[in-house]
Structure 1
Amino acid sequence: MTTTTKYVIKYKLNGERRFEFAQLQSNSVEEAKQALAKIHDASDEITDINVSKAL
């Protein structure tokens, strides 16, 4: 079983700053993009992704 850690993903959605919490295996931007793609429409522009460990 893979272990996950709670991370905060800071990003811009269509130019508006947002953040989400997610259980990820690592703090990779690619994994964060996949998590964000699940909750937003394909037409949404997601930029400036930053992943850090939640406190």
Structure 2
Amino acid sequence: MAQTTKYVIKYKLNGERRFEFAQLESGTQEEAKAALEALHGQTDDVISDVSVSKAL
């Protein structure tokens, strides 16, 4: 099993600022966006302005 680290993902969902915590392997924007898409499912929601940082 790969080592994961807790990250906070800040993003906009349909223009509304939101944040989520996720266990990610590398903390890249691509990995974070994939985690958000999995969380929100296959909807017409627009995910934008994704930024990732390690949780404190």
Q: Could you say what the CA RMSD is over the residues aligned between the two structures, in angstroms?
A: 0.8
Give how far 1:39 is off. 1.3
**Structure 1-normalised TM-score?**
0.94
Give how far 1:21 is off. 0.1
Unaligned segments of structure 2, at least 5 residues: none
**Structure 2-normalised TM-score?**
0.92
Deviation digits for residues 18-48 of structure 1, max 9, x if unmatched? 0000000011000001100111143110000
Tell me which stretches of 4 or more aligned residues in structure 1 moved more than 2 Å.
none
Number of residue pairs the alignment of both structures matches: 55
Of the structure 1 ranges 1-10 and 38-47, higher mean CA displacement relative to structure 2 is found in: 38-47
